[in-house]
């Protein structure tokens, strides 16, 4: 597993999920509890994406 592909998947999923939450809840700030849940969900999603789909390394 390449670290580059994991970090790029993580950042993309994090941006998408935070934007979704902000649109759904109609507020800009994210609480600490929400941030912990976001980190957990996004980390698991990034690991699954890297393991299943094996994105091309960004070099």
Query: Structural domain tally of the chain?
Result: 1
Predicted TM-score (pTM) of this structure: 0.59
Tell me whether residue 58 is in a domain.
Answer: no
Q: What pLDDT, on a 0 to 100 scale, did the predictor assign at position 19?
A: 85
Q: DSSP string of 31-47?
A: -HHHHHHHHHHHHHHHH
Say if CB 55 and CB 5 are below 8 A apart: yes
- Asked whether residue 33 is assigned to any structural domain, the reply reads yes
Per-residue pLDDT, 55: 55
Residues spanned by the domain of 9: 3-53
24 within some domain: yes
Query: Does residue 59 sit within a domain?
Result: no
Task: Give the residue from 10, 21, 18 showing the smallest Cα distance to 44.
Answer: 10
Q: Which two tokens stand for residue 15?
A: 């941006």
Per-residue pLDDT of the chain (59 residues; tens, 9 = 90+): 455 677 787 888 888 888 887 788 776 677 777 778 888 888 888 888 777 776 555 54
């Amino acid at each position: 597993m390449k670290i580059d592909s994991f970090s790029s998947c993580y950042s993309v999923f994090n941006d998408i999920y935070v934007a979704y939450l902000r649109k759904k809840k109609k507020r800009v700030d994210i609480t600490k509890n929400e941030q912990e849940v976001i980190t957990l969900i996004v980390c698991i999603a990034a690991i699954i994406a890297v393991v299943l789909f094996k994105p091309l390394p960004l070099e």
